[in-house]
Structure 1
Amino acid sequence: MFDDVPMPTSSSLSQTPRRGHAALRIGRVSAPGRAYHLTLATQQRTPLFQEFDAACAAAACLHDPVLTKGARMLAWVVMPDHVHCLLQLDGQRSLGAIIATLKSGSARRINRALGRTGPIWSRAYHDHALRGDEDLRATARYIVANPIRAGLARKAGDYPFWNAIWL
């Protein structure tokens, strides 16, 4: 019944990460020109961004061209315990390198705003590469509507921590 299914070899099993954060990276590709919808959660989903100064620091980092070098930030929203963003790679750097720079640079600024030290972000992040048939503006609207769906605002204009290039 399973005669036509190849059995994995011990070498292929040892080369393929199967658990934890490494498993999340299986198949992750950084394609120049491709847009990615990302979710970056705070460590243990701590609602750090309920603190106004911390949310301001996170928002400023999403606009910082040094922290987003290699990508164009199209839309973002800072929620109490995570950030959603839509960015488009320009081919200079990999998605992983951009996220690492953004997380480390923003962690320093957010910690400074909170008067604390220690990790801000969860090690992992979720990414969704938009397919050709997915509309960038529709995805951006979905991202900036997160505070409405979460009950934090009645309309997007009532929530201070979001932006999109189509304004």
Structure 2
Amino acid sequence: MPQYRRATGKVFFTIVLADRSSTLLVDEIDRLRKTYRAAQQRSPFETIAICILPDHLHAIWELPENDSDFSSRWSLIKSGFSRGLEARSRSISKVVKRKKGIWQRRYWEHAIRDDADLERHVDYIHFNPVKHGHVSRVSDWPYSSFRRYVEQGVLAADWGGNMREIAGQFGE
């Protein structure tokens, strides 16, 4: 059996719904927030940046030292969010595995290499609602850590106003 190396330190994630036309994540934002907090209390991690869009989310986490088990944390979030929701159209294998067909099975992960990489990924996360056409200004999107960055004086409230795109590979 292969020994996969798990990223430690800071990690960027893209988590996607199975139905890319869905708005479930923002429609059920309170459910998502509740399950996210519960997972964070059960298995601590720091959320460095996050943005929740209708059909996917991006986050950067930092796990405790000597802990690289982010997959069980995402499993807690995804299963907790799905619990109580109506199942979507599913394959036989998803029915057998008791999967509701809400989430894509896999997710994108990227180990943050250095401070410049972290900054580029935080910028990407915060600019994503503009990129997808949900708002015209970053500050107008309510489901993001952008406001926390503004409150902390890290970013200006009008940040991202003239940006066209952020170069890099981000897992979408």
Please indicate, yes or no, whether the TM-score normalized by the shorter chain is above 0.5.
yes
| Structure 1 runs of 4+ with >4 Å offset | none
Give the C-alpha shift of residue 53 in structure 1. Answer: 3.3
1:156 maps to 138
User: Is 1:141 equivalent to 2:123 in the alignment?
Assistant: yes
Deviation, structure 1 residue 48: 3.2
Q: Aligned AA for 2:111?
A: A
State the identity as a percent: 23
Residues 19-71 of structure 1 deviation map (CA, whole Å, 9 limit, x = unaligned): xxxxxxx744142xx11110011014241337x53134324444x0x313231
Q: Secondary structure at the match of 2:129?
A: helix
For residues 121 and 128 of structure 1, the distance between their equivalents in structure 2, rounded to whole angstroms, comes to 19
Residues 1:48 and 2:20 aligned together: no
Structure 1 residues 83, 145: CA separation in 2 closer, same or farther (over 3 Å shift)?
same
Where does residue 39 of structure 2 map in the other structure? 67
Aligned partner (choices 114, 119, 129) of residue 101 of structure 2: 119
The code of the aligned residue for 1:129 comes to A
> How well do the aligned residues superpose, as a CA RMSD in angstroms?
2.5
Distance of aligned partners of 1:158 and 1:133 in 2 relative to their CA distance in 1, 3 Å threshold: closer
Counterpart of 1:96, as a letter, is S
Report if the CA contact (8 A) 1:107-1:119 is conserved.
no
Question: What residue ranges of structure 2 are gaps of 5+ in the alignment?
Answer: 88-99, 152-172
2:31 is equivalent to residue 57 of structure 1: yes
Count of residue pairs brought into register by the alignment: 134
Do the aligned residues in 2 keep the contact of 1:71 with 1:88 (CA within 8 Å)? yes
Are 2:6 and 2:68, in contact at CA under 8 Å, matched by a contact in 1?
Answer: no
Of structures 1 and 2, the larger Rg is shown by: 1
Deviations 1:107-162 (A, max 9, x none): 226x2xxxx24332111010000002434344222101101011110112211211
> Cα distance, 1:97 vs. partner?
1.4
**Structure 1: runs of 5 or more not aligned:** 1-14, 17-25
Matched, 1:39 2:33: no
For the residues of structure 2 that align with 1:56 and 1:156, how far apart are their CA atoms?
A: 21
- TM-score of the superposed pair, with normalisation by structure 1: 0.67
Does structure 1 residue 86 correspond to structure 2 residue 54?
no
TM-score (normalizing by structure 2): 0.66
Identify which range, 147-156 or 38-47, moves more after superposition: 38-47
Q: Check if 1:129 corresponds to 2:104.
A: no
